[in-house]
Amino acid sequence: MVLYCTEERDRVNLHCVMARLQRIHHILLSVLCVLLCPTALVAASSSAPDTRPRIVAFGDSLTAGLGVSADESYPAQLQRRLDTLNYRYRVINAGVSGDTTAGGLRRVPWVLNSKPVLVILELGGNDGLRGLSLDQTKSNLRQIIQRLQQAGVTVILAGMKLPPNYGQEYTMGFEAIYPTLAKQYQLPLIPFFLEGVAASATLNQADGIHPTKEGYRMIVEQILKILSPLLDHRTMKS
């Protein structure tokens, strides 16, 4: 009888211990879930597709950001300014150093693959610096604009200028390309992409051509004067 009672008491104690261990196990699982769930949510959100409408910065080394870090280029700085201003758009840097209007024309299908709603077109500077045919430069830009507009893309055209040592006739003819095309295709025009930056020793790198981080900051502010009203208009229509 004593042995039976002892064995029964041991079984009861063992049952209590097992029940207590199960409760501890459940508590630990709950704590672990609380700790891991935020991480899982972050992982899920980071892998979610970016559905923001896209703005493609389409250009040459001035767009690519030659000589500065990627986050100092104008597309990167523009992205941060748009975020600050609560414009929900994604800016894609489609700048290629050394590109001409002919190269840009060949890249139009790639740009359209990004499905942009808006393109900032900054090309032609290398054509001018190489003294290429003005008629060909104009034709290339015209075809780029036409193909983008046919795809339903809004185009902002960035004008360029040349140093005076290329001769008055050539420089004036080159500069006239941009307002002419902007008028013909009813494009918002940035009269001079490097306005306030060109020829500044403090806002350009040692080559005197490519802007510094601060130079690109000023360019972004010039772009926003043209871009912001367009984005506001899109918001009102949506």
pLDDT, position 19: 52
pLDDT, position 17: 44
Give yes or no: residues 42 and 58 share one domain: no
Catalytic residue among 60, 99, 127, 210: 210
Give pLDDT tens digits for 63-76: 999 999 999 999 99
Nearest Cα neighbor of 175 from 159, 194, 198, 190 is: 159
233 is catalytic: no
Give yes or no: residues 39 and 94 share one domain: no
pLDDT, position 175: 98
pLDDT, position 29: 46
Give pLDDT tens digits for 73-99: 999 999 999 999 999 999 999 999 999
Contacts of 68 (CB under 8 A, 6+ apart): 205, 210, 211, 212, 213, 216
pLDDT, position 236: 87
Give pLDDT tens digits for 97-140: 999 999 999 999 999 999 999 999 999 999 999 999 999 999 99
pLDDT of 42 over the 80 cut = no
pLDDT, position 44: 43
Euclidean distance between CA atoms 65 and 72, whole angstroms: 7
Output the domain CATH number for residue 188.
3.40.50.1110
pLDDT, position 150: 98
200 is catalytic: no
β-strands 90-95, 116-122 pairing: unpaired
Euclidean distance between CA atoms 110 and 93, whole angstroms: 12
DSSP structure string for 191-215: S-TTTTTTT-TTTB-TTSSSB-HHH
Give yes or no: residues 209 and 136 share one domain: yes
Average pLDDT over the chain, rounded to an integer: 87
How many structural domains is the chain composed of?
Answer: 2
pLDDT, position 48: 78
Give yes or no: residues 167 and 69 share one domain: yes
pLDDT, position 237: 83
Give yes or no: residues 102 and 31 share one domain: no
pLDDT of 43 over the 50 cut = no
Give yes or no: residues 60 and 33 share one domain: no
Domain boundary residue, one of 11, 30, 48: 48
Q: Which amino acid is at 80?
A: R
pLDDT of 209 over the 70 cut = yes
Give pLDDT tens digits for 8-39: 554 445 444 455 656 655 554 454 444 444 44
* Token pair listed for 58: 């389409």
Euclidean distance between CA atoms 173 and 191, whole angstroms: 15
Give pLDDT tens digits for 132-179: 999 999 999 999 999 999 999 999 999 999 999 999 999 999 999 999
Q: What is this structure's pTM?
A: 0.80
Give yes or no: residues 110 and 202 share one domain: yes
Catalytic residue among 46, 47, 50, 207: 207
134-150 and 101-113 helices cross at what angle (nearest 10)?
10
Q: Which domain holds residue 26?
A: 1-48
Mean pLDDT, residues 212-225 taken together:
98
Catalytic residue among 60, 61, 73, 99: 61
Contact 219, 211 (CB under 8 A): yes
Mean pLDDT, residues 175-196 taken together:
98
Give yes or no: residues 23 and 101 share one domain: no
Q: How confident is the model at residue 46 (pLDDT cuts 50, 70, 90)?
A: low
Give yes or no: residues 19 and 63 share one domain: no
pLDDT of 57 over the 70 cut = yes
Give yes or no: residues 134 and 58 share one domain: yes
- In terms of pLDDT, which residue wins out, 47 or 4? 47
Give yes or no: residues 42 and 112 share one domain: no
Give yes or no: residues 173 and 187 share one domain: yes
210 is catalytic: yes
